[in-house]
Structures are given as structure tokens and as C-alpha cells.
Structure 1
């Protein structure tokens, strides 16, 4: 077999939506983006949503809207993708790296509290692999300290924690639709909030500083009303080229309808992995998966002799990965003098196994069998 680590699940519905964009001859920022934003806001229960070309852009702008003074600090987990911490640097802020909870691998709240000082202005909890950070504990503490909270939901789309959707506990939630995620737009992201005033400049910020609806403007090019002024715009904020386009949104609209089934199937696969690997010496799940409650983008294990096992699985046609090298150990971030003792010693045990909605039961059993063969 040749089993992929991640794979988008795409079909005729996505192609039909793309064809509609082609027929309309509008593939940039347009009506599909508007509709996808509306549908996503409805899906997660947010007051408003803004589509972007990546979750990286969403994280950048989520910090940007608060206009924090340069040199202030942001608490961020070391075990996350580079974008989470890079967004802090984009805003001329300082990342303060927080260790991982030994069980869930999410942000360790005790370490977070110890690393807080008066220069900290925000915290970015990451729902690692899709498992929730205990937001019911984090939020009261953050509010007491006057901190803004930006949830990195790149690994989850559709989970609730204690009745509240992940992404709506904090001030802003950021989601990813990159090709390996729970659903995809090819590349893309979304930011949501229940405080619409926070997003008053976001649509200008995502499109070079111009806050206009391109599609509506195009429709007025030949408007006989001499007062239409379709060509007029103002620049009031510094903007970026971060907009989502209609082709991406066309894919997203089709994917969103399929997302509940994708999530259900992922849960089945995770349970099959957990049952098949149970009791295997030297192997344990990456975190305390609860697929009946939460949505997970990754499934992984902790294993001694990690590298040897990964090479063995590769020789048997099984793709694996490592998510992630702790950021505070990366050359870019070493100057920030982070110390995260648990994740420093534990990260070399992590293996990400194949997980996607199209993975078959036969393929899952094959992966389990090969891990069992290696251990025996």
C-alpha cells in the first residue's frame, strides 16, 4: 500500500461551484466570498466572519485590530505551527513561549500564568490537533488580567467545549482551510467574532486598505446614475493583500456542506486506531482523544525510538509526520529565551499517523498491523 498522511476530499460539487464562477467570469473577491462568510458565521454561531487567504493572515489581522504598542508581549504555546508565533512578530510584538500540558499537549495554563507579566497584552491558545484548551479556566484569568484572547482553531472546525463553539470563547477565532485541514478551500482562512466592532476595519485591512465590495462596484460600472461614483474609494488604514477569492470560496461552500460527514468519519477512524493500538507496549495516543465529543485534524502516537518507527513505516508505504518541533527551539525564535522543559524532552516521541476522510478501514488496519509488527 501507499497511504497518504493527509488528503483533501473533493468531488463534483466543488467542480460545479467552480464552474459557476467561471460562467460568471468573476473569480476574485466577490459574491462567493460574501456567501461563504455568511455560511461560516452561521455554522459556528458567530456574529460576523471574514474570509482570508490563510489562517496566517487571520492571526496577523486578529492581533492587528487591537493596535497593541510595539514591544508588548503575547503568550503563545511553543508546540504549534510557525504562523501562530510569526503573527506576533508581524505586529512588532514579543512571543512568550508556554510549555505544553503533559496530557493534552495544549497550552499548560500553570506555565502560562507563571510567565505572565505586566507587559503581556494577549494570549493565543491553540487547540492542538483539535483537543480543546480548557477555555473555562483560561478566560476568567485572561479577563482579570485585561488580556485579549485569540483562539487558533486551525485544527478544529465544528467542536463545542462545554456548550460554546471553539473560536467563540475568546475575542477572535481563527480557522484554516489549507489543503490538509478538516475542510479545504485550497488555501484559505477565516476569522470570526461576536464583537462586530472589532472587525470595523478588517475588510479594508484584508484588501490593500480599501473597504468596498468589488462585485457590487463592478455591477455599477455602467450604471446610468451619474451619482453612482463606482470609481471612488478612500484609504484610511494600512491594508494587505489577504483577501479570499471566489474560486476558493466556491470550493469552501461545497466543502462546508460535507464537513459534518468528514468530521464523523474522522471520529470513526480515530476510534479504530485507538482500539487497534490499545495495550501495545511503548505506544500511547498522542493525547486523550474523545472523538465522540470533539473534532480532530490529526491523530498521532507517542513512541520510543520514534525515528526508527517512522523509517520502518515509510518502508511499508505509510506516510507519517511530526507536529511540531517546539518553536522556542527554532533559530528564528531562540533569541526570545523561552524555556519549556516538558515539550523539549517529549516532542521527539511524537508521530502523526494518516488521517483524512477518505482513509479506508483497510488502510487503517494496515497501519495498525505495521506498527504492531514493528513492536513485535
Structure 2
């Protein structure tokens, strides 16, 4: 076999949706983006949803709109993708890395408290692999301190957690639609909030400072009831070129309609993995997966024989990865605070396994068979 680690789940519906953009000859920021925002907002139950070209852009703008004091500190998970921390640097802020909870590998609330100082202005809390970090503790604590909370939801699509959707606990939630995520627009992201005042400048920030509907404006070019100033716009904020386009949004609308089924398929795969590894002594699930309640972008295992397992699975046609090298170990972040021994120790044991909604039972059973064969060899 040759089993991929990640892949998007596409069909004829996505091609038809893209063809619709071609037929209208409108592929930039337009009505599909507006409709995608509307449907995502309804899906999540939030007041505001702004579509962007990446979750990295969402994280950057989330911190930008908070107008935090330059040079102040932002607490962030050590075990995460680079964007969670580079967004802090983009805003002339200083990352402080928080260690992982030893069981879930999400943000450790205890280490967060220990690393807080008076010059901290915000927290970027990552729901690592899709499992909730303890936002039920973090958010009330942050409010007491008067600091903002951004939820990095790149690995999840907002399931319920203790009565509230992930991404709506903090001030702003950021989601990813990159090709390997739970649903995709090729590249893309969404910024969501229930604080309309906080994100009021977001549409201008995403489109070089212009807060104007490009699609509606274009309709006025030949409208003889509109005066000659139909083209007029003003730039009042320093913005970025971060908007989503209609091509991406057309795919997103189809993917959103399929999302529940794709999540169900992924959850079924995770349950098979977890149940299949019950007898394994040397290969264990990375965290206490709960696929009946949460959705996960990553399924990984922990093993003392990390490199041996990667090579063994490679020999048998099973793709693997490692998510992630802790940011405290990356050269870019060496000078920043935050000893994170738990995250760094976990990294030495993590192996990511194939997980996507098109995995067949035959493929999953084959991976489990090889994992148990490996376990028998090293037990």
C-alpha cells in the first residue's frame, strides 16, 4: 500500500463550484466570500466572521486589532505551528512560551499562571491537534488580569466544549482551511468573534485598508442611477492584502456542506486507531482522544522508538510526520523566554499517522496491523 498522511476530500461538486466562478468571470473578493462568511457565522453561531487567505493572516490581524502595547508579552503554546508565534512578532510583541499539559499536550494552565508577568497583554491558546486546551479556566483567569485571549483553532472546526464552541471562548477565534485541515479552500482562514466593536476594522485591515464591498462596487460601474463617484474609496487604516477570493470561497461553500460527514469519517478512523492500539505496549495514542465529542486534524502516537517506527512504516508504504518541533527548539525563537521540558520531551516520542476523511477501512486496518507488528518486535 501507499497511504497518504493528509489529503483534501474533493469531488465533482467543488469543480462545479469553481466553474461557476469562471462562468461569472469573477474570481476575486466577491459574493462567494460574503456567502461563505454568512454560512460559517451561522454554523458557528457567532456575531462576526471574516474570511481571509490563511489562518496565519487571521492570527496576525486578531492581535493587530487589539492594539496591544508594543513590546508587551504574549503567552503562547510551545507545541504548535510557527504561525501561532510569528503573528506575535508581526505585531512587535514578545512571545513567551507556555509548556504543554503532560496528558493532552495542550496549554498547561499551571505553567501559564507561572509564566504570567504584569507586562503580558494577551494569550494565544492553541487547541492542539483539535483537543481543547482548558479555556474554561484560561479565559476567566485572563479576564481577571485584563488581558485578551485569541483561540488558535487551526486544528478544529468549533465543536462544543463545556457548553460553548471552541473559538468563541476568547475574544477572537482563528480557523484554518489550508489543504491538510478538516475542510479546505486550498489556502484560507476565518476570523470569528462575538465582539463586533473589537473587529470593526477587520474588513479594511484584510484589504489594504479599504472597507468597501468590491463585488457591490463593481455592480455600480454601469448603473446609470449612480453618480460618477461610484469608484471612490478612502483608506483610513494601514491594511494588508489578506482577503479570501471567490475561487477559494466557492470550494469552501461545498466543503462546509460536507463538513459534518467528513468529521464523522475522521472520528470513525480515530476510534479504530484508539481501539486497535489497546493491546500495544510500545505505541500509544498521543493524547486522550475523544472523537465522539471533538474533531481532530492530527492523530499521533507516542513511542520510545520514534525513528524506528517512522522507518518501519515507511518501508511498508505508510506516510508519517511529526507535529510539531516545539518552538522553543527553533532558531528563530531561541532568544525568547519559556522553558518547556514537557513539550520538548513529548516531541522526542511523537509520530503522526495518516488521518483524512477518505481513508478506507482497509487502509486503517493495515496501519493498525503494522503498528501491532512493530509493537510485537519491540515489546
Q: TM-score of the superposition, structure 2-length normalised?
A: 0.98
Report the CA distance between 1:287 and its aligned residue: 0.5
Report the CA distance between 1:36 and its aligned residue: 0.1
Report the CA distance between 1:372 and its aligned residue: 1.3
Report the CA distance between 1:237 and its aligned residue: 0.3
Report the CA distance between 1:346 and its aligned residue: 2.0
C-alpha contact 1:220 1:228 (8 A) present in aligned 2: no
Match of 1:140 in 2: 140
**CA–CA distance in 1 between the matches of 2:135 and 2:107?**
10
Match of 1:37 in 2: 37
SS in 2 for 1:199: coil
Report the CA distance between 1:279 and its aligned residue: 2.0
**CA–CA distance in 1 between the matches of 2:226 and 2:347?**
64
Report the CA distance between 1:226 and its aligned residue: 4.8
Match of 1:291 in 2: 291
SS in 2 for 1:261: helix
Match of 1:369 in 2: 369
C-alpha contact 2:122 2:148 (8 A) present in aligned 1: yes
CA spacing shift, 1:19–1:106, aligned 2, 3 Å = same
Match of 1:56 in 2: 56
Match of 2:331 in 1: 331
Report the CA distance between 1:228 and its aligned residue: 5.6
Match of 1:318 in 2: 318
Match of 2:355 in 1: 355
**CA–CA distance in 2 between the matches of 1:52 and 1:336?**
29
**CA–CA distance in 1 between the matches of 2:343 and 2:117?**
22
Match of 1:120 in 2: 120
C-alpha contact 1:267 1:295 (8 A) present in aligned 2: yes
Match of 2:110 in 1: 110
Runs of 4+ in 1 over 4 A off after TM superposition: none
Match of 2:303 in 1: 303
**CA–CA distance in 2 between the matches of 1:346 and 1:91?**
30
SS in 1 for 2:178: coil
C-alpha contact 1:52 1:244 (8 A) present in aligned 2: yes
Structure 1: which 5+ residue stretches go unaligned? none
Moved more, 254-263 or 335-344: 335-344
Deviations 1:224-251 (A, max 9, x none): 1353622111110001110000000000
SS in 2 for 1:58: helix
Residues 1:263 and 2:257 are matched in the alignment: no
C-alpha contact 1:75 1:120 (8 A) present in aligned 2: yes
1:6-85 paired onto structure 2 within 5 Å = 6-85=6-85
**CA–CA distance in 2 between the matches of 1:230 and 1:14?**
34
SS in 2 for 1:335: coil
**CA–CA distance in 2 between the matches of 1:283 and 1:86?**
33
Deviations 1:4-40 (A, max 9, x none): 0001000111111111111110000000000000000
Match of 2:180 in 1: 180
Match of 2:89 in 1: 89
RMSD: 0.8
Q: TM-score of the superposition, structure 1-length normalised?
A: 0.99
Structure 2: which 5+ residue stretches go unaligned? none
Deviations 1:281-304 (A, max 9, x none): 112110000011111111110001
**CA–CA distance in 2 between the matches of 1:343 and 1:129?**
14
Deviations 1:320-371 (A, max 9, x none): 0100000011000001132011112221100110000000011001111111
Match of 1:345 in 2: 345
